[in-house]
A and B are shown apart, each in its own frame.
Chain A
């Protein structure tokens, strides 16, 4: 068949948008310092719960031990309280349709679950026990340590994890963000006493946020939280997140993974924080570059050249500093050309202007998909939890949407010039050095490093 041409008269025009319902956020701070945000929402008879506790490493020197202890604590906090053992805790939650997921990232510890509405008080009761009376029993903790060590070994075998760790290490150096995965030998030496100390010092209501979204009555929810968590009154010093270091330009790092059939290209650099007025323009620039299917990077290295299945770019927000990230997993034999095209598209963003059509499409996509993502209990709860955890108000989302609506082509061009210049980005490629190094050398200086061998005795 002949190549079709888009006949715009045939494409149905968009109708009149209906306004999005605006969630009604009930925002309270309890005497303990815990901030509670409750959002009643129509929809399915469920409640979503998110509790975020600030958990960044206190210093670069303490980071390695902190990362190891945090990784064990996330699982071990569920292993027993003064009143219930691990099995009873799990069953109490399950009876309410709940299952607490506990996770750590470089900034915070998060407890999250879905639950049936009738289970709010019992689930908050279990949560309160975990927060105030987790015992970290020695035998079960030993089992958790062994599991964490095995999971780290599995994670370290994944090329995406190797690439992310290498980029973080290059970008952040000795800053705690430079250490993405705990060291196995440190995990092996985490004691119950160390976990209890970490919990006592860092699992604090001050600075923490609890978000409840869904089928609930705000006043009753506030009462239930007050009754259940009133005893969580631990006090201590808030630990500020260390600002990330200024990036130092350097050669592309090629992490050798002999025999790899693909190369993982990762580029990263700083980006404006959520509170920075330049953020809306940078977000839209990142969309136009590689943030969604209709972007320049996807059209070039996927839909025209077939080098990659899922090339992408995004703005990632950590408390110590935001990042602009570019990722592409490409066939080994086209690693050089794929990096060339990626760099070309970055340079094109930085040096030439985007079109009005590109900007409008990116803007509508961001606004539309934000509405989709917050149109469920779970999506709204996670979004609010992230915003509050970053110190923002629930109303930030609406302000940000208005700001996105006002971004101009000139602002996008300036933002890309400032943040996307290839010379400003740090680069890592994980791949078979014997097959890709020569091509990468053509494009610039390359420093080859060996993949860390899996640690023995994990």
Chain B
């Protein structure tokens, strides 16, 4: 290691307390800029959806912006934006989050808005029908009308996994979305949006004592409900190769994705860190193994990438999850030629290991990227919140750079040994009709 690991620890103090209704609260103050971030993470994601209700977690996320007991439709946006702030929400495999970044004088307003919809979002027939239409447009713009739009995040899981939780389309089928009812939404809210199933994480320009007072003022009144059990998303490890082919009439050139099951990102965190650096070693940047081999050496790829978790964040998912390598390749290059080269490069790490000098370079780049994310109050706050929800420890987000800097070449080699071509899931995305 070239750097003292301690230098890479983000020294933001983290304070936490829990309200009587079970809401976990994390404060990560840093007063260097007059900006606060407010986030609420609910422990419900695409993998929580029951059969027949694909896409419901995401549809419900939209419903949370339709107003609430004391906030008319459109007013959530107006109250945040007219205060000079921005807002959004996003639905992930294992959680759904809502967040604002605002000038610090708007902190209490954001707390009011989040508490009001935690207590009573405006679930009406009119709002539901409107947002089903909006979500369908979102799916059209991002998937149905977009070449490569489902590749590979919606196309690889059915090949790689077995359970409904892991294989179904988390954006949702139009049939399921259109048949959703107000009662479904009320049930979903009642079951999953309990304060005891959520983390409220605040970052930035906070006075902790005053902030705790404000949090209690607005959130203490949200009635307690029992939290649902965490959905079971783990699966037995695969024992064979699984392959799938999808033909896409919109795409001009083919692509292929390969997914390997990896260690439990929460329960087996230390081993998992080796896998995280393996993904970086394989694909991050111009000096990475697969960039040099596939793109520049063999010239069998136009672009390549490897990452953990279908959404690209290695630290915000639970088991089961994958290391995914995806490659866009010219039509005249067969997918198997690409795959052979990928498997060879993984085998080279598994057999020959990684030089200490190469790993230090990879760690330098990884540290820089983690620090860059942490430079924004919002980016930092979301990372703390995800770490609290998924790992039970917000502090972990601040320690990641140092933890990754301490990973040894042997751990990376061990991780590569886990990427067995005999248990990989492969998805080929092919063009149709010989049209490039």
Which of these binds chain A: B366-374, B381-389, B414-422?
Answer: B366-374
Smallest beta-carbon distance B358→chain A, Å: 8
Q: Are B330 and A368 within 8 A (Cβ)? A: no
Q: Are B67 and A150 within 8 A (Cβ)? A: no
Residues of the A chain whose Cβ atoms lie less than 8 Å from the Cβ of B131: 306
A115, closest chain B residue (CB): B368
Q: Are A306 and B134 within 8 A (Cβ)? A: yes
Q: Are B67 and A4 within 8 A (Cβ)? A: yes
Set B71, B134, B205: member contacting A4, Cβ < 8 A:
B71
Q: Are B367 and A306 within 8 A (Cβ)? A: no
Set A3, A116, A143, A454: member contacting B435, Cβ < 8 A:
A454
Q: Are A157 and B375 within 8 A (Cβ)? A: no
Given contacts A329-B141, A331-B137, contact A12 B122 (CB under 8 A): no
Q: Does B325 contact A (CB under 8 A)?
A: no
Given contacts A43-B375, A114-B369, A378-B372, contact A156 B296 (CB under 8 A): no
Q: Are B375 and A377 within 8 A (Cβ)? A: yes
Smallest beta-carbon distance B73→chain A, Å: 7
B131, closest chain A residue (CB): A306
B255, closest chain A residue (CB): A154
Given contacts A7-B70, A95-B361, contact A331 B371 (CB under 8 A): no
| Chain B interface residue count, Cβ-Cβ cutoff 8 angstroms | 91
A47, closest chain B residue (CB): B368
Q: Does A273 contact B (CB under 8 A)?
A: no
Smallest beta-carbon distance B247→chain A, Å: 14
A30–B83 alpha-carbon span in the complex (Å): 42
Q: Are A302 and B147 within 8 A (Cβ)? A: no
A18–B106 alpha-carbon span in the complex (Å): 11
Residues of the B chain whose Cβ atoms lie less than 8 Å from the Cβ of A3: 72-73, 122, 124
B108, closest chain A residue (CB): A12
Q: Does B195 contact A (CB under 8 A)?
A: no
* Centre residue among A19, A44, A159, A330 by max chain B CB count within 10 A: A44
A308–B7 alpha-carbon span in the complex (Å): 47
A45–B295 alpha-carbon span in the complex (Å): 32
Given contacts A150-B253, A306-B130, A376-B376, contact A90 B147 (CB under 8 A): no
Q: Are B134 and A46 within 8 A (Cβ)? A: no
Which of these binds chain B: A200-208, A223-231, A239-247, A291-299?
Answer: A291-299
A458–B333 alpha-carbon span in the complex (Å): 13
Residues of the B chain whose Cβ atoms lie less than 8 Å from the Cβ of A6: 70-72, 75
Given contacts A303-B73, A369-B86, contact A21 B364 (CB under 8 A): no
- A346-381 residues with Cβ-Cβ distance < 8 A to B are 357, 360-361, 364-365, 367-369, 371-372, 375-379
Q: Are A4 and B72 within 8 A (Cβ)? A: yes
Q: Are B285 and A97 within 8 A (Cβ)? A: no
Given contacts A151-B302, A303-B130, contact A19 B34 (CB under 8 A): yes
A21–B34 alpha-carbon span in the complex (Å): 8
Q: Does A20 contact B (CB under 8 A)?
A: yes
Q: Are B368 and A98 within 8 A (Cβ)? A: yes
Q: Are A90 and B286 within 8 A (Cβ)? A: yes
B366, closest chain A residue (CB): A97
Smallest beta-carbon distance A347→chain B, Å: 22
Q: Does A94 contact B (CB under 8 A)?
A: yes
Residues of the A chain whose Cβ atoms lie less than 8 Å from the Cβ of B368: 46, 97-98, 114-116
Q: Are B364 and A97 within 8 A (Cβ)? A: yes
Q: Are B285 and A143 within 8 A (Cβ)? A: no
* Centre residue among A17, A42, A309 by max chain B CB count within 10 A: A309
Interface footprint category on A: 35 or more
User: What 1/0 flags go to A80-99 for Cβ under 8 Å of B?
Assistant: 00000011011101111111
Residues of the A chain whose Cβ atoms lie less than 8 Å from the Cβ of B367: 97, 116
* Centre residue among B71, B111, B132, B141 by max chain A CB count within 10 A: B141
Given contacts A16-B105, A18-B205, A94-B361, contact A86 B253 (CB under 8 A): no
Q: Does A78 contact B (CB under 8 A)?
A: yes
Smallest beta-carbon distance A377→chain B, Å: 6
Residues of the A chain whose Cβ atoms lie less than 8 Å from the Cβ of B245: none
Q: Are A20 and B34 within 8 A (Cβ)? A: yes
A307–B376 alpha-carbon span in the complex (Å): 34
A5–B75 alpha-carbon span in the complex (Å): 10
Q: Are A368 and B137 within 8 A (Cβ)? A: no
Smallest beta-carbon distance B93→chain A, Å: 21
Set A19, A21, A87: member contacting B292, Cβ < 8 A:
A87
Q: Are B103 and A17 within 8 A (Cβ)? A: yes
Set A13, A159, A454: member contacting B252, Cβ < 8 A:
A454
Q: Are B105 and A14 within 8 A (Cβ)? A: yes
B217, closest chain A residue (CB): A12
Set A4, A95, A304: member contacting B69, Cβ < 8 A:
A4
Smallest beta-carbon distance B49→chain A, Å: 21
Q: Are B330 and A4 within 8 A (Cβ)? A: no
A249–B115 alpha-carbon span in the complex (Å): 51
B111, closest chain A residue (CB): A12
Residues of the B chain whose Cβ atoms lie less than 8 Å from the Cβ of A157: 147, 250-252
* Centre residue among A15, A115, A156, A368 by max chain B CB count within 10 A: A368
Q: Are A361 and B299 within 8 A (Cβ)? A: no
Q: Are A294 and B376 within 8 A (Cβ)? A: no
Residues of the B chain whose Cβ atoms lie less than 8 Å from the Cβ of A303: 73-74, 130, 134
Q: Does A237 contact B (CB under 8 A)?
A: no
- B76-91 residues with Cβ-Cβ distance < 8 A to A are 77-79, 81-87
Residues of the B chain whose Cβ atoms lie less than 8 Å from the Cβ of A16: 105
Q: Are B102 and A331 within 8 A (Cβ)? A: no
Q: Are B287 and A90 within 8 A (Cβ)? A: yes
User: What 1/0 flags go to A249-279 for Cβ under 8 Å of B?
Assistant: 0000000000111100000000000000000
Set B87, B144, B250, B364: member contacting A95, Cβ < 8 A:
B364
Supply 20 further A-B pairs (C-beta < 8 A) apart from A15-B104, A90-B292, A458-B252. A7-B70, A15-B105, A15-B108, A20-B34, A43-B375, A44-B375, A95-B360, A97-B364, A97-B369, A114-B372, A115-B368, A153-B253, A158-B146, A303-B130, A309-B134, A310-B141, A364-B81, A365-B82, A456-B436, A458-B253
Q: Would you give 22 A-B contacts (Cβ < 8 Å), ordered by A? A: A4-B68, A10-B112, A12-B108, A14-B83, A18-B104, A19-B34, A44-B10, A44-B371, A90-B292, A93-B286, A94-B365, A97-B367, A140-B296, A147-B295, A147-B303, A150-B328, A157-B250, A261-B145, A306-B134, A309-B135, A375-B376, A376-B375
B interface list, Cβ under 8 A from A: 7, 10, 32-35, 67-75, 77-79, 81-87, 101-109, 111-112, 120, 122-124, 129-138, 140-141, 144-148, 205, 249-253, 285-287, 292, 295-296, 299, 302-303, 328, 330, 360-362, 364-365, 367-369, 371-372, 374-378, 435-436
List of 8 A-B pairs having minimum Cβ-Cβ separation, nearest first: A368-B84, A306-B133, A97-B368, A90-B287, A361-B82, A90-B286, A15-B105, A18-B34
